[in-house]
Homo-oligomer: A and B are copies of this chain.
Amino acid sequence: MSNIKNIAVLTSGGDAPGMNAAIRAVVRAGIYNGLNVFGVKRGYDGLVSGDMYAMDVKSVANIIQRGGTILKTARSDEFRTIEGRQKAYENVKAAGIDALVVIGGDGTFTGASKFLEEFDIPIIGLPGTIDNDLAGTDFTIGYDTAINTVIQAVDKIRDTAESHDRLFVIEVMGRDSGLIALRSGISTGAEAVLIPEFNVDYDAIMKRLDKTRKSKSSRIIIVAEGDSEGGMVVSERIKANFPKYDVRLSILGHIQRGGSPTCMDRVLASRLGVAAVEALLEGRKGEMAGLVHGEVQFISFNKAIKHIDSINQDLLRIVEILSL
């Protein structure tokens, strides 16, 4: 039997839709298993300052459909120092907390890894980030919602592009990963997709645009924010190269983070939240729960953050074929 009686949950890093569904699952699965569950405010900052409170079934009622995180989130400079983590540990002990569930991205797991190593607190992580840039899970919590927000925005812009025969360069999220750009590009019938993983071949784009000049009246080029050039530069270059097109730039920005989570994100968060609690009770620690091919799996924090974004070549090929 497990010695764990009290656990705490926190969200850290950028907020992602589905974080609330994950918090709810952790709290309810904890109570279901006879545990007391504490909520920590503002990520590791709340651990350092001791800002936490006892949660019950009602604390998480009616939040599964809400964007953001009711526990709030932050990036904590103090927790990056040994002094900060020492304070955090004292607060954890003072509250009688035996184990932690941390919801966030690579920064979150890096911190968790150190904390666990130094103070031997069992910690399980949940992948909560719109960037889908973690190993050990097919999708991160928030990614499916973010990409659907992107395509709904691009659909709206396509109305204008089509009405005015314009070319729109649209910058979407993805600092290190082109996956949001690539999948949203396929979904919105983009004529080209520029991603950090590959250099822009302006000649190829130019040829493709020229080839379809007669069959198409509007054009969408999706650029990942992490692309070597970024939306602003890309739109300037296209203006310079294609003086015949009426080029506009749209940077989607912060709207991509919020909103009510999709079914996939809610189910993913619910399954992983339950799995995290059960994993702690089974004695696991230092691992992230993920969903791989429909099944819950665990991966060490160190491996989770060493995600190599291997862009599926099939997707790139499809952009080209369908932008015909």
Residues in chain A within 8 A of chain B (CB atoms): 11, 15, 17, 19, 24-25, 28-29, 31-32, 42, 56-58, 61-62, 64-69, 72-74, 138, 144, 147-153, 155-160, 162-165, 168, 183-184, 186-189, 212, 215-217, 248, 250-255, 257-260, 262-264, 266-267, 270-271, 274, 293-294, 296, 312, 314-315, 317-318, 321-322, 324
Contacts and interface: CB of A to CB of B under 8 A. Distances in A.
B263 A164 contact: no
Contacts of A160: 15, 67-68, 254, 257-258
Contacts of A67: 156, 159-160
A263 B159 contact: no
Number of copies: 4
B264 A28 contact: no
A156 B162 contact: no
A284 B191 CA distance: 30
B324 A32 contact: yes
A267 B68 contact: no
A73 B155 contact: no
A15 B324 CA distance: 26
A63 B150 CA distance: 17
B322 A296 contact: no
Contacts of A257: 156-157, 159-160
Nearest to A66: B159
Contacts of A32: 321, 324
Given A62-B158, A322-B270, A324-B31, A254 B168 contact: yes
Contact of A324 (B11, B28, B253): B28
Given A58-B215, A157-B254, A160-B68, A322 B187 contact: no
A258 B255 CA distance: 16
A259 B156 contact: yes
Contacts of A187: 64, 263, 266-267, 270
Contacts of A42: 165
Contacts of A65: 151, 155, 158, 188
18 contacts: A11-B163, A15-B159, A24-B322, A32-B321, A42-B165, A57-B324, A61-B215, A62-B158, A62-B162, A67-B160, A138-B294, A151-B263, A151-B266, A160-B254, A187-B267, A250-B253, A251-B251, A271-B318
Given A58-B215, A148-B262, A267-B315, 8 more contacts: A15-B164, A24-B322, A57-B216, A62-B162, A68-B158, A250-B253, A250-B255, A252-B255
A181 to B, nearest CB: 12
Given A183-B263, A321-B32, A314 B271 contact: yes
Contacts of A318: 25, 270-271, 274
Contacts of A151: 65, 263, 266
A267 B186 CA distance: 6
